[in-house]
Amino acid sequence: MHGSANQGEGETKRDFLRVNLGVLGHLETLNGRKRVEIVDLSQGGAYVVLMDADVAAKYDVRDCVLRWMSFEAFGEVKRREGLHLGIAFDEPLRPGVIKETRQHASLNVRNDYQELKQAARLWAHGIYHT
């Protein structure tokens, strides 16, 4: 896993680096792979939104792998409110992962926007893909 590191002595979750994003990623579970928007990312976890409301209604998930850019993190869904999931990582991400994600997030958001725009066009023509 790219993003794992051990928590230092005396460090708490609130000491973790945190970044607000809006980057697309994937949540992988035993039930399959689902697209998500990563709204908030910290060393200790992430706040994501499932992109497909129909799938989300029947998508019960606990253990998962969150993948974005060139990173991945294993975790557990600790909180769920509709399409919104709070994931606690098994191991904290290294600070460099947060910094690199933040540096490249604006470029990824632009690319993600273009991808979503294309998906919307396909949907409007009756073509659906995940």
Tell me the CATH architecture of domain 13-124: Beta Barrel (2.40)
The answer to whether the CB of 97 falls within 8 A of the CB of 25 is: no
* Torsion sign over Cα 124, 56, 61, 25: positive
Walk along the chain (130 residues) and give the pLDDT tens digit of each residue.
Answer: 444 344 444 444 444 555 667 888 999 988 889 999 999 999 999 999 998 876 666 667 889 999 999 999 999 999 999 889 999 999 999 999 988 888 887 654 544 555 666 666 666 767 655 4
Element (H, E) at 78: strand 71-81
Task: Report pLDDT for 70.
Answer: 92
Task: Report pLDDT for 22.
Answer: 81
Instruction: Give domain limits for the chain.
Output: 13-124
Length of the chain: 130
Task: Report pLDDT for 38.
Answer: 93
